[in-house]
Amino acid sequence: MQESKSRIIDKQVTNIPTTKEKFFLEYLMARKPIIDSIIRKINDGRYLRNKPPQLYDMPMRVLAELLYYNNLYKDMPDQDRWRKVFDYDTKLLIMEKLGISEDNLNSYFSQLRKIRILDGKTINDFFVIYPKGNEFEITFKFRINEESDG
């Protein structure tokens, strides 16, 4: 039996095949710890019901849909784009896709507003992305300090 040798690796790439509709949810899921950190920072450490503000599953799915429609209408002027993203017909499409009621959707919008991801009927600029073409790359760069933690 041959003994395995450790490899020195300075870069690791994980390819994630996706679709235009799934991309935004997968993007949010991949960046969740960073997004939660941004949410805590933009909320100035304020807590909701003794919990740090964070992006929970269903509000994240709603946000992903809003990001999808925002990207779909990216060539429209801002005011027209936001009106279209938050239009009742778009809300119906989101409710159907996620299998939720209008009351549920409005509740998730409210949750997203409380943690400052939504500002009225716009998405906070920290969270808006526009992928170019058919690829989008996220890079995490770790700078390893040689000092011991202990």
CA distance 85 to 108: 15
Q: Which long-range contacts (CB under 8 A, 24 or more apart) does 101-106 make?
A: 104/58, 105/62
pLDDT in tens, 60-97: 999 999 999 999 999 999 999 999 999 999 999 999 99
Q: In sequence order, what are the beta bridge partners of 118?
A: 123
pTM of the complete model: 0.84
Q: Can you read off the two tokens belonging to residue 38?
A: 């941004």
pLDDT in tens, 14-36: 888 999 999 999 999 999 999 99
CA 3 to chain centroid, in Å, comes to 42
pLDDT > 70: percent of the chain: 89
Q: In sequence order, what are the beta bridge partners of 48?
A: 51
Between these two residues, 130 and 14, which has the higher pLDDT value? Answer: 130
Does residue 129 have a pLDDT over 60?
yes
